[in-house]
Structure 1
Amino acid sequence: MRIIFIFLLLFTIGCTKVVKESEEILLENHSVETLTINGQSFEIIPVYDRYLDYVLDVEKEDADRNESFLEHVFLSFSEEIYGHSYYEQDEFYFATPRNISKLKETIKLLDEKIPELLISIQKVLENATFLLPGEHYPIYIQPYNPDFNSYEMSGIVGITMPNGAIVLQIDPRTFQEDLFMYMVAHEYHHAVYIDKSDWRFRKSDLLNDVIMEGKSDTFATLMFPETLVPWLAPLSDKEKEIVLEYVREHHNSFDYNNTYILFIGSRTQGIPRWSNYKIGFHMVDEYLKKYPDLAIEEWTVVNAKEIFEQWKSE
């Protein structure tokens, strides 16, 4: 059942436009906007001006791209989020963009799309904060790396940082609003889970990573049951058996490579891509069928091992 909820929203929009020029590029929607919803505050922070600084720098013949991207984008972002300049530096979503002309076009189109994105984020958070109250979270808007194919993910990558900050990387060319709204709900649940559970006080193993994704997809699916999500395409019975056995074998592993195999898939092992999402969603769904009266706030913080115990004998 799709949830429709209208709640009082204080939507603060700055009147002053920040304009930055790079040849024909004018950034007109760069200012930080604040949403206050159900007593929670969300700063919506576009950071593509930093990417534009990178573009301007590498257009110089003597600029080193990796060093320039670190200086203009990653280091400042990491300092802002964590207070230091090394966390997640090697993650693929912060890889140095190489296609400069396409990156410039992405920045331009993304800047034009910000007003539309703000409306969509507002709609999602009105319902999400009502269903599952949380804290105050910054939401960063960044351009999708143009070196990567964005069609498979409909132009959207979502990341929730360990401090609860949400990062949305967007390719306006392949953007789909319904999947974007689903992604915002998914990442919001991650942020609340980090705050409300014991996540910050323990080292996360494969099982906890899988269940965390399953919980967030369950929450987002409750909000958007009609949205077709590429990473939740059902596993076949044979695939499910293979993936379940893999999780049984590695459930208490702290080696990220084991989780990564579920994410990227393994043809030799018969593991499809995005199996961590698929099997996590399946496990949480099976658990909630047995405990249908659990409130969202309750199952959000249920220990992963408790969910694991419900299905490991399948």
Structure 2
Amino acid sequence: MKKSKILINLIILFFTLINSSISIENEIIFKINNEIITKIDVENEYRYLIALNKNLKNLNKNEILEISKKSIVKEKIKIIELSKNFKNPIIPEKYIELILQNIYNQIDIDNLNDFKGYLINKNVNYQDVIKKIEIEALWNELIVEKFSSRIKINKQEIRNRIIDNKDKTTKSYLMSEIIFEISNSSELTRKYEEIKKTIKEKGFDNAALTHSTSGTSNLGGKLGWINENSLNKKLREILSSIKENEFTDPITIPGGFMILNINKIKEIETFKNIDDEVEKIINLKKNSQLNQFSKMYFNKIKNNMQINEI
């Protein structure tokens, strides 16, 4: 009887220690309105970011954990807002496949099966990646619904510029961005120096991960190839004086500042189909304006939420 009692006490102690360990491991570190973010959420985000950003190897674990915290907080804010606007949303499978392909191509993986194997090796759940894609897809849909009527594009001006340059080669830039905000103008110099220091020591990609508030930050600020005809006159003038592997001074944009880095420059041949090029540039301009609305809207809802770090 005495041995049985000792055994029962040991079992109780064992499960108490396990529960204690689990609660410590999964401790709450953020509360956003009525939602929580745990230590495990941050660790999962940490592994996800490392899997998709090879340049993160240049940062130490604490730096990456801080980036992971910012990233998961941003995602949770979007989830809260999306829950107010969508009920049982369905994302087309083809759309998810297209985004997936873009993600694994950026880390030099050719097909979905290899990508799934890569995620297993990195201890990242494939369904978690799908969920993140769905969140971003719904967020983009929300922004389109709210702001598409406010997009302003001068189609005739675009057509005229293309016609004027139809016998000339134009430039296309492979670019990355850092978007940042400051509370007052006196902080601009200090913040810019801080960003430049990170770029010098750890590269532009890691500076974007550390400092950028843009949705591209998790991918090192990468924007892809952008034709100069899709840019406004001010940006064309700024970039014309920048060489490959150089970056701009801070450029004022709605709600903050932008730094652009040119990774590569190539010359584009004369356009064979003006209508196709006009539509391509219009789409680029639409996306650019929607991204600006997205940043402003996100900041607005973020400021209206209660975010507490525990």
- TM-score (normalised: structure 1): 0.28
The structure in which a higher percent of residues are helix is 2
Greater RCO structure (CA 8 Å; 6+ sep): 2
